[in-house]
Structure 1
Amino acid sequence: MDSKNHKKGKSKSLIIVVAIVAVALLAWLGYTQAQNFVAAKISGDNKGQVELRSHKAIYDLELHSVTSGTKLINLDGQMYFSWEKQCAGWASDHRFNLLYEYADTPGVRVTSDFSTFEDEDNSKFSFSSVRKKDGVAYENIKGHADKSEDGAAAFFKSPEGLEIDLGADILFPSEHTRMMLENARQGKKFFTATVFDGSDAKGPSVINGFISDANALSRPRDVSFELADRISGSPLLNVKSYLIRLAFFPIAQDNAEPEYEMTVRLYENGVISEMFIEYNDFSVIQKLTALEEIQEQNCGSENE
């Protein structure tokens, strides 16, 4: 694989959300950070907060464009994502199965299983991921992060002994999503934060977000993002959505240019229906193809 054209960038998830966001996105190329953004969850118990809904979804991913000289000629696959509100916090699971095809080398099948848990007050965060190439594991990430008034730090079991000082202003994915959506609801257009999602051992990223409630953001005009009838009628999509442009700057790399950018359609309940991811050498489209709500746990005391 040509390392210049195919960087193992920050995945994170995500988002998102989320969320993300989110991506992170591609297990091989660094996408979980975005999906964690998309997928990140927040409590809806407090007045004024949006209520993100437990759900599971399937997305199709496909190559949209490549620049001249890029050896990647095709990319396609699926991502399964689930987020579930549990009694102590929020659990998410992201599974990728992607095929990369190249002009002059054999294709590569990459799979990834990335899971996280964030407690309800956003102070403790655990993460675990296993990535495989043609069935052989090449990366194993596992650890937890803690945040207090004195700052935050991440502690890794794999790589063993690794510790990263996250600083005082770090956000975990759910808190980042909550603040992004709060800014969107207030009509604000920009939100920048430093986020740690545990998708790799490089540490946090600065994420710059531009928020729009229209269709003015950069999206490929030659692609239809219209949802199938079986999905478009879902009650989960019967809420306000925003187009959000995200740029990712890993702190460890200290680059003036973002490692990658993406545009996502994020609903106020945490569902994402479309994503357009742009790297230096190629771009990828992610479309929602299946969506189902997950019934949340009953966390009340039997004695109450």
Structure 2
Amino acid sequence: MRVSRSIIFALVGLPLLGAATASEAVPLIAHRAVYDLALDKASDRSGITGLRGRMVYEFNGSPCEGYTVNFRFVTQIDTGESSRMNDQQTTTFEDGEGKTFSFVTKSYTDQALEKELKGTATREPDKVKVEIEKPEKNSLELRPSRFPTEHLRELIDKANKGQSFYETDIFDGSENADKVMMTTVVVGKKSSASPSDPELPALHELATDKYWPVDIAYFDDSNEGGEEVPEYRIAFKLHENGLTRDLVMDYGDFSMKGKLVDLAVFDKPAASCK
């Protein structure tokens, strides 16, 4: 199961906004968000009879310092005959101009380390260069794309301008860090939370903030002639400060929901770069 760091992005997961400098970039809130995960639906082909888990997403930084994300995604998946626990732990850093992106991911199954991935990507005018350190050294050149925080900043910018649909490429270091994903982004009308919104207790002072409903489909178009079917889709509510909530992650044969249950907002970064 591919878990993209653009989820929250898509949680936080494009060229810089116009000709904006780092000090003019869209301000993103530094925070830690905790989500309870539950099975939404599953086909017979998936073999999944139950799913539960928790996701913790911590976002820090500023355009001057760059952005750090600590992300943990734990799920217990039942298939009727067996049960397994998957635990993905990721740390990333993206510089404020979206030119470099480093990533470390450790994936565990039933508490045993299954895979460790570590690397750095550099965006150049005509390509993205990827240097992988683990599991073994490798160098790749991929087509031009954007990194997750940059992707989020552009999404907010386009939503503020009323643009409801666009396409873009993204590299987030997922799986083997050897692919660029093409995404289609659909942005709905800005709305306010209803009094019955189940996530209101976790939002605290942000409960009155408006949000956009967003749907992002991720396509692997590396294989020519393949069907135009997304690898997965993510739907969520996006606040202008970068907070995402009310998640639905659809992997085709099954989907899961993520409900915001706890939110901690950190101190604001300095207003300008020195």
Gapped regions of structure 2 (runs ≥ 5): 15-19
The total of aligned residue pairs comes to 261
Q: Work out which of the residue numbers 200, 209, 212 in structure 1 matches 2:188.
A: 212
1:34-66 Cα offsets, whole Å, 9 max, x none, are xx29xxxx98731xx531110001000000111
- How far apart, in 1, do the equivalents of 2:21 and 2:38 lie? 33
- Aligned pairs for 1:17-96 (under 5 A) are 17-20=9-12, 36=13, 45-46=23-24, 49-85=25-61, 87-96=64-73
How much does 1:212 deviate?
0.3
1:177-199 Cα offsets, whole Å, 9 max, x none, are 11111111111111211100112
- How far apart, in 1, do the equivalents of 2:223 and 2:30 lie? 34
Contact 1:214 1:242 (C-alpha < 8 Å) held by counterparts: yes
Tell me, yes or no, if structure 1 residue 241 matches structure 2 residue 218: no
Contact 1:239 1:269 (C-alpha < 8 Å) held by counterparts: no
- How far apart, in 2, do the equivalents of 1:225 and 1:281 lie? 28
How much does 1:159 deviate?
3.2
Taking only the aligned residue pairs, the percentage that are identical comes to 24
Contact 2:190 2:210 (C-alpha < 8 Å) held by counterparts: no
- How far apart, in 2, do the equivalents of 1:279 and 1:263 lie? 12
Tell me, yes or no, if structure 1 residue 12 matches structure 2 residue 12: no
Q: Work out which of the residue numbers 276, 279, 282 in structure 1 matches 2:248.
A: 276
How much does 1:261 deviate?
1.4
Q: Work out which of the residue numbers 92, 102, 106 in structure 2 matches 1:130.
A: 106
Tell me, yes or no, if structure 1 residue 252 matches structure 2 residue 228: no
TM-score, L = length of structure 1: 0.78
How much does 1:252 deviate?
3.5
Please give the root-mean-square deviation of Cα atoms over the aligned residues, in Å.
2.5
Q: Work out which of the residue numbers 96, 100, 109 in structure 1 matches 2:77.
A: 100
- Give 2:175's aligned residue: 200
Contact 2:30 2:60 (C-alpha < 8 Å) held by counterparts: yes
Contact 2:7 2:234 (C-alpha < 8 Å) held by counterparts: no
Contact 2:10 2:234 (C-alpha < 8 Å) held by counterparts: no
TM-score, L = length of structure 2: 0.86
